[in-house]
């Protein structure tokens, strides 16, 4: 196994760590469906610490997977590295500044929304990569459509925000699935 191939395992490892860890967060610190994952984490100091301790290393591992294996393997443009870095920094802001009230909430949301936009851009770059399989491309195009729909619901249908936790979770899971599909479906 080459040094580059070692980074490939960080993709599914980091994704499944995030999924299991965030599911535990919602189970341990339950709230309403209109609450984001971050709002669940902001309920207590320990939940906030857990959230940051879970996501910061998992996001770093995912970043390594993307920059050391995924982006070079699929020959994504150099700008993908910078877009991804902006998304990671946005997520780190969201991890370190709990979504409580006032300026903290505004800073947190700026980081979180920055990250969510970069996910869509990264997936857009992925579907145009010549090296991904035709099957993976069509699955990922379908996922881009679903993610766009979810983002549109959030932006333009205020009633949909009553189920924000479901839509946010689906958006993130869809992104992860799309990246894993591009990685493993040939």
Q: For residues 122 and 84, is the Cβ–Cβ distance under 8 A?
A: yes
- Rounded to whole angstroms, how far apart are CA atoms 12 and 133? 19
pLDDT at residue 4, as a whole number: 84
Name the average pLDDT for the chain.
Answer: 95
Q: What percent of the chain has pLDDT over 70?
A: 99
Q: Which two tokens stand for residue 107?
A: 């800073």
Per-residue pLDDT averaged across 23-38, rounded? 95
pLDDT digits (tens, 9 = 90+) for 102-140: 999 999 999 999 999 999 999 999 999 999 999 999 999
- Rounded to whole angstroms, how far apart are CA atoms 183 and 78? 19
Could you tell me the sign of the dihedral formed by the alpha carbons of 79, 148, 51, 53, in that order? negative
pLDDT at residue 1, as a whole number: 65
CA angle 62, 170, 95 (to 5 degrees): 50
Alpha helices in the chain (DSSP H): 3-8, 10-28, 37-41, 45-65, 71-73, 79-96, 102-127, 134-156, 164-184
- Rounded to whole angstroms, how far apart are CA atoms 172 and 165? 11
Could you tell me the sign of the dihedral formed by the alpha carbons of 16, 18, 23, 25, in that order? positive
CA angle 88, 181, 141 (to 5 degrees): 85
pLDDT digits (tens, 9 = 90+) for 79-96: 999 999 999 999 999 999
pLDDT at residue 36, as a whole number: 93
Task: Please provide residue 78's backbone torsions phi and psi, each rounded to the nearest 5 degrees.
Answer: -55, -35
Q: Is the pLDDT of residue 3 over 90?
A: no
- Rounded to whole angstroms, how far apart are CA atoms 62 and 180? 11
pLDDT digits (tens, 9 = 90+) for 130-176: 999 999 999 999 999 999 999 999 889 999 999 999 999 999 999 99
- Rounded to whole angstroms, how far apart are CA atoms 9 and 102? 40
């Amino acid at each position: 196994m080459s040094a580059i191939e070692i980074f490939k395992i960080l993709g599914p490892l980091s994704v499944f760590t995030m999924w299991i860890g965030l599911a535990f967060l919602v189970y341990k610190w339950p709230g309403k469906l209109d609450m984001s994952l971050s709002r669940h984490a902001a309920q207590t100091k320990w939940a906030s610490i857990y959230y940051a301790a879970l996501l910061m290393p998992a996001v770093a591992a995912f970043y390594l997977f993307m920059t050391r294996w995924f982006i070079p393997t699929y020959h994504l443009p150099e700008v993908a590295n910078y877009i991804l870095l902006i998304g990671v920094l946005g997520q780190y802001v969201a991890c370190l500044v709990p979504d409580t009230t006032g300026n903290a909430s505004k800073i947190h949301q700026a980081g979180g929304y920055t990250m969510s936009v970069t996910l869509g851009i990264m997936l857009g770059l992925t579907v145009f990569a010549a090296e991904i399989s035709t099957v993976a491309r069509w699955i990922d195009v379908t996922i881009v459509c679903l993610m766009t729909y979810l983002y549109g619901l959030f932006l333009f249908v205020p009633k949909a925000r009553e189920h924000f936790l479901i839509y946010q979770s689906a958006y993130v899971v869809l992104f992860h699935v799309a990246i894993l599909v591009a990685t493993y479906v040939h």
